[in-house]
Amino acid sequence: MECNRQMKFVMLELALVLFFMRSCASEIFPKAQNVTWSSVNFKSILTWSPKPTNYSYTVEFSEVGQDRKRTGHCIKTMETECDLTAELQNPKANYSADILSEPMQGVFSDLVEFPHVSSKKFSPYYDTAIGKPEFKIEVNSDKRKTTLYVTDIPTALFNEDKKRLNIRDVFRDNLQYKVTYRKAKSTGKKEKISKSSIIELPDLDQGVSYCFYVQAFLSFRALDKQHGEISNIQCSPEDNTSIFEEYGMGVIVGAILIILAITTIIIVIVMCCRRGKAAKNTGKETLALKGDDVMLKIYRPVDCGHDHTDIRRRCTSSEEV
Per-residue pLDDT of the chain (321 residues; tens, 9 = 90+): 555 555 555 455 544 444 444 444 445 889 999 999 999 999 999 999 999 999 999 999 999 999 999 999 999 999 999 999 999 999 999 999 999 999 998 888 878 789 999 999 999 999 999 999 999 999 988 788 899 999 999 999 999 999 999 999 999 999 999 999 999 988 899 999 999 999 999 988 888 999 999 999 999 999 999 999 999 999 998 875 555 555 566 777 788 889 988 988 998 888 888 777 777 666 655 555 455 554 444 445 545 454 544 544 444 444 444
* Rounded-to-integer distance, Cα 227 and Cα 186, Å: 24
Say what the pLDDT of residue 276 is.
Answer: 74
DSSP run (H or E) holding 233: none
In the prediction, which pLDDT does 18 show? 45
> What is the pLDDT at residue 218?
98
The CA-based dihedral angle spanning residues 16, 108, 54, 67, taken in that order and rounded to the nearest 10 degrees: -80
Q: Where are the domains positioned within the chain?
A: 2-127, 134-241, 249-301
Q: What is the predicted pLDDT for the residue at 184?
A: 92
Helices (H), the chain: 2-28, 124-127, 167-171, 243-247, 249-296
**Domain 2-127 CATH (choose: 1.10.10.410, 1.10.150.20, 2.40.30.170, 2.60.40.10):** 2.60.40.10
The phi, psi pair for 111, rounded to 5°, reads -65, 140
- At 234, is the secondary structure helix, strand, or coil? strand
- The yes-or-no answer to whether 2-127 and 134-241 have a common fold is yes
Give the pTM. Answer: 0.66
Tell how strand 234-235 and strand 210-217 pair up.
antiparallel
Distances 277 to 141, 281, 283 between C-alpha atoms, Å: 62, 6, 10
Cα 162 to Cα 12: distance, rounded to the nearest angstrom: 57
pLDDT at site 268: 82
Name the superfamily (CATH) of residues 134-241: Immunoglobulins (2.60.40.10)
Residue 137: which of 72, 229, 67, 233 has the closest Cα? 233
Distances (CA, A) of 45 to 91, 111, 124, 128, 133: 14, 29, 11, 10, 22
Distance of alpha carbon 102 from alpha carbon 130, whole angstroms:
35
